[in-house]
Each structure stands twice: as C-alpha cells, then as structure tokens.
Chains A and B, each alone.
Chain A
C-alpha cells in the first residue's frame, strides 16, 4: 500500500513538472527599426543577468528569463498579477539581419536587444549628379 502511494505521488510530481513550463509570462516588447538595425526592448522585471538568456538559433531569437526574488519563507499570496516566474518569447529573424553581432543588455529589468543589419543591405543614398 505504501509503495503504491509513493508511485502515485511520483506520477503527480512528474505531471506537475511537465505542466510547469507552459505557465510562462509573455514579456511586453517594443520593436523599432531604422536603416541600420532593429532594436527590441522587453520588460522582464525580476530577472537578473544570471537568470536571463538571449539565444539565436537558426533565425529564431529566443528571450528567456527567470524571476529571482528572495521572499520570506512564510509568505502567503494575497493578490497576484504575476502568476509565473518565467518569461519567454521568441521571434523569427529575417535574412538581412546579422545574427552574429546581436548586442543585448539588461538594466533594471529592461532588456535591450540590438540586431544590426548586414552591411550590404543597409540603405544607401545615391547621389544624383547633373551632367
């Protein structure tokens, strides 16, 4: 009987772990573009540099971060807008973006990602000369 109970607990635990990654927060972003680059700002309050990951994998830019806040041990939730501790969001990048020179910085929970365009696709001003 005890063994059976243990198995049941383990199953529920596994189900819980399986379900957990689905509960992700979608950070609010601003995306701006000019001739040189695309700049992305993302709100990830609670994320420290250690718990943040910005990855590019085959034209997909993935932002992921875990909220790391120290809380008192006996805290009980009274009200919660934020119901998960993980932020995640992904974007596909187009071919003219130079994924090898992406620059990311984090300050006060605000993530800035700058994705430069390839040199050869930047807009050029063509001088018109009169003969």
Chain B
C-alpha cells in the first residue's frame, strides 16, 4: 500500500491505469466519436466545469503557476488556457519520481453557447484558477407571472 520513498513506485492503481492505457492502445477507445477538441484522459491541467442559473464556473487545478504568465483567452464559447509550469528540480540531485507536469500546457474548453464572452473574470487562489462567465441576458431563466 505504501510506496517507499527511495524505491520504485508500487502503487496498484497506477499499474491498473497503465494496463488500461495499454489495452486502449491495442483495441482503441471503447467510446464512439469524440469531440474534435477532446484531449486524452489525464491531460494537464485537471478541470471542473459547473453551471449555475446565472452563469458558468470553470475551476482549473494548476498548482505552482505564476498568474502573470497564464494566457487565458475567449473566442465565442471557446476558452483557451495556456501557461507554463517551471521545473523546480534542485541542482545536483537525482530523480526518483517525476509525475508533476513541467513545461508548457494548453487546453481548450467548449462552454455552453449562451455565455457572454465579455463577462469573464478570473482569480487564482491556492493553486486553483477560477474563471467565471455569466449567461447572456436573454438566456437566463426567468419567472413568468401568471395573471388571473
């Protein structure tokens, strides 16, 4: 269950992931057609997207980022996030595990059509970049009064 810090990483789940990847390479992915902008499972960074009645919230899990170096752009309902995670390997060291993403990354997200691209706001806190969009005025749910 525990991996020794100076030994090979004997994590069972990791080995199953590797097995699954190998099998998918042999037989192909079991699902049907994928989104043309789809990325491989496990792509960096991890992203959660949630919708509310007022808008769409994106949470980008990217630790150790310099907020000034993040390139965030919107084109209609496509959001592109790009940045760079610097390598922090101390000098004159040997490496045992190297799982963290290092170097450049880019991910494109397709959001619902009814968001207002001009409403974007972004905040980086504890390693999570939160990008918020509001829906276009005409797309928001509204209450219709029933007249007697």
Contacts and interface: CB of A to CB of B under 8 A. Distances in A.
Interface of A: 26, 28-34, 38-48, 60-61, 67-69, 71-72, 74-82, 90-94, 97, 107-110, 115
A43 B64 contact: yes
B141 to A, nearest CB: 11
A77 B50 contact: yes
Interface in B41-72: 45-54, 56-57, 59, 61-65
Interface of B: 1-6, 11, 13-14, 45-54, 56-57, 59, 61-65, 88-90, 92-101, 112, 124, 126-128, 130
A109 B126 contact: yes
B90 A79 contact: no
Given A43-B127, A79-B48, A81-B47, A30 B98 contact: yes
Nearest to A65: B126
Q: Would you call the interface of chain A mostly helix, strand, loop, or mixed?
A: strand
- Kindly name the residue among B6, B48, B98 whose own CB sees the greatest number of chain A CB atoms within 10 A: B48
B110 to A, nearest CB: 9
B56 A33 contact: no
A107 B63 CA distance: 8
Contacts of A75: 50-52, 57
Given A29-B97, A92-B3, A76 B52 contact: yes
Given A29-B97, A31-B97, A74-B53, A45 B127 contact: yes
Contacts of B6: 33, 38, 94
A76 B101 CA distance: 28
26 contacts: A30-B89, A30-B95, A38-B5, A39-B90, A39-B93, A41-B64, A42-B100, A43-B100, A43-B101, A44-B127, A45-B127, A46-B59, A61-B5, A69-B128, A71-B57, A75-B52, A77-B50, A78-B50, A81-B47, A81-B48, A90-B2, A91-B3, A92-B2, A109-B62, A109-B64, A109-B128
